Amino acid sequence: MSNHDITIHTVSTDNEITRTANLASAIWHECYASLISSLQIDYMLEQFQSTAAVAAQIKEGYSYFLVTVAETDAGYFATLPEPDKNRLFISKLYATAQFRGTGVGRAMLDHIETTARHARLNTLWLTVNKLNPTLSWYERRGFIRTAAVVSDIGNGFVMDDFHMEKHV
């Protein structure tokens, strides 16, 4: 698939926010089922990826993007500029199972890198679950592990992640 088949657009309407939350629910239940409990997945979706949470994050300065291929939702990502630290936080980057390995993830990351360069931010950073198979995908794209982080997210749950960075 060429990047010409992939469309990336900014999430701004209530309908797009709902589509993003629905996509998050489907992807997270599939991606994280072998890594964390379904109770934690549901809790995290409600806290971080519900329609209300996505809308609130957009108001706080996050940019959300929907990715489509031939008018089919293929993934989404979210970023937050941190100009005081000269970096861009990749809050979310997910492709549906159907579109993994097709170039959709690469197109999302290319878009993020271009955004960072235009904003004159020289570092991308994100957190990835320590057991997530996508760790190697990020490493192949130039990210390095910079720290191991365990974060209490409430309700008795933690996120056990690697902090990863890439200079652009």
The string of pLDDT tens digits covering residues 108-165 is 999 999 999 999 999 999 999 999 999 999 999 999 999 999 999 999 999 999 999 9
Distance in angstroms (rounded) separating the CA atoms of residues 126 and 143: 9
Distance in angstroms (rounded) separating the CA atoms of residues 15 and 51: 10
Distance in angstroms (rounded) separating the CA atoms of residues 99 and 37: 25
Domains of the chain by start residue, with CATH:
3-167 (3.40.630.30)
pTM: predicted TM-score of the whole model, two decimal places: 0.94
| Structure-derived torsion over alpha carbons of residues 42, 23, 48, 8, reported in degrees to the nearest 10 | 170
The string of pLDDT tens digits covering residues 78-117 is 999 999 999 999 999 999 999 999 999 999 999 999 999 9
The string of pLDDT tens digits covering residues 27-64 is 999 999 999 999 999 999 999 999 999 999 999 999 99
Distance in angstroms (rounded) separating the CA atoms of residues 153 and 9: 30
- Give the per-residue pLDDT at 47: 96
